[in-house]
Amino acid sequence: MSAEPAAQSVSATGWRERLSLLSDSNFRKVWLAGAIYGTVRWLDMLAVGVFTYEVTESPMLVAVMVFLRLLPLILMGSIVGAIAERFNRRRLLLGGLVFLSIVCAILFLLALTGYITLWQVGVGAVVNGFLFSADFAIRRMLLGEVAGMRRLGAAMGLDSATNNATRMAGPLLGGVVYQAVGLEGTYLVGFVLSALAAFLIAKLSVDPSAPPVRTSSLLTDIIEGLRYIRSNRVVTAVLVITLLMNFFAFPFLGMIPVIGKDVLHLEPSLIGVLAAADGCGALFGAIVVAVFAQSVYYRRIYVIGSTIVLVAVFIFSLSGVFGLSMSVLLIGGLGLAGFGTMQSTLIFVETPASIRGRVLGILTMCIGTMPIGMLAVGLIADWIGAARAISVMTLCGMAVLAAVLVHWREMR
């Protein structure tokens, strides 16, 4: 079963109509809340990675911290997606942001008084991971509902552009704050930004997500979602590609502090600049996609973007020069824009609204395979070094992507 005709009917609108989304106050609130939370996520990831490596000098433990952050996605993704269809999505998202701000405040006080330990930092990473799963499955549903199907591509493109801007702003801010103030500074910034995001969601005046009354069990709903995925080859292919990218390609993010320190010999602020490079490229690429992408090209954009990311990360793993490393990560960011924007967009246009939350939940689980990839990279890095570990992973990713495109010809 495929919703390709539906995808084709979501025709491209003019760029003025697409950008009219920004005049919708409810869209702006959901969109900006995602931008603010994204900044917190990437700021925290960079600072925690640098802190962990300074304390332990172990690439494996750096990978473990990223693993803890992403573990809730694979454990809770399908459950969060099903819950999102049963309860008020605005309230669920608001509760998560308030809880994150409280955790950031506690960790700030612990770091300020010198009582913070590595296990406490790990707890903070897990909490951040729970909110990440809610952000993807719940906030993006709200975003698509506020925008409507006609402006869906533009909405996801703008959101992807903003998320990628946070990939740039978060590490830059994290590197500067960590070097200037220390870990306590990053948690203070995290508290302020999380509280601001919660305020925006609390002020949302229109909630299009009133959930229907369900008589089926949560497990039954999840099984129904899995059956639908199996029946739709395009949705299945999107999920498989998402899985392989998060397992083989994106674990390189956790190794940037290690490569920046050991291979490129950078200070924390320049490690932040390096970590922001792919976000900079992705920001530009996502803006282009948001304004110009037409539905007939969605699948191609997704596949080409995935390929560019894998090739760019492989070249990055071979580079020992800061300028080349920056350049290939910028190019990889362009590919990331196509991958990230079309990932959610294809799920929306291929999936009926009645089951969309559950499919987005499974998508979140596929994203959650990144921590397993992080552990694999960490283990290999302890054996042959971080750069070579990334080379091995990306080469495997290229081979798997080629096999996927042979089997799921629809994606070509």
Question: Which candidate, 263, 354, 241, places its Cα nearest to that of 59?
Answer: 263
Amino acid 201 reads I
Rounded-to-integer distance, Cα 164 and Cα 249, Å: 16
Domains in the chain: boundaries? 18-206+215-411
Q: Do 290 and 158 form a contact (C-beta atoms < 8 A)?
A: yes
Report CA torsion sign: 315, 264, 125, 344.
negative
Distance CA 154, CA 152 (A): 5
Reduce the DSSP state of residue 286 to 3 states and report it.
Answer: helix
Structure token digits, residue 59: 């690439």
- What pLDDT score does 165 carry? 76
Which tokens go with 112?
């300020």
Architecture in CATH of 18-206+215-411:
Up-down Bundle (1.20)
Label residue 223 exposed, middle or buried (CB < 10 Å: 0-12, 13-18, 19+).
middle
Query: Cβ-count burial of 23 within 10 angstroms (0-12 exposed, 13-18 middle, 19+ buried)?
Result: exposed
Residue 265 backbone class (left: φ over 0; alpha: ψ -120 to 50; beta: rest): left
Residue with tokens 């903003």: 162
pLDDT value at position 11? 41
Which two structure tokens, joined as six digits, stand for 138?
Answer: 């719940």
Q: Which residues contact 399 (CB under 8 A, 6 or more apart)?
A: none
pLDDT at 77: 67
Q: Check if the beta carbon of residue 168 is closer than 8 Å to that of residue 279.
A: yes
Give the per-residue pLDDT at 15.
54
Report residue 60 CA to chain centroid gap. 22
Q: Residue 261 is which amino acid?
A: K
pTM of the model: 0.69
Tell me the average confidence (pLDDT) per consecutive run of 10 residues in the chain, 412 residues long: 38 53 82 88 80 81 77 72 75 89 92 88 84 77 76 75 75 80 88 93 70 62 83 92 92 82 80 80 79 78 94 91 89 90 85 81 81 82 87 94 91 78
pLDDT for 237 equals 93
d(CA 341, CA 332): 14
pLDDT score, position 18: 58
Q: Are 65 and 165 in contact (CB under 8 A)?
A: no
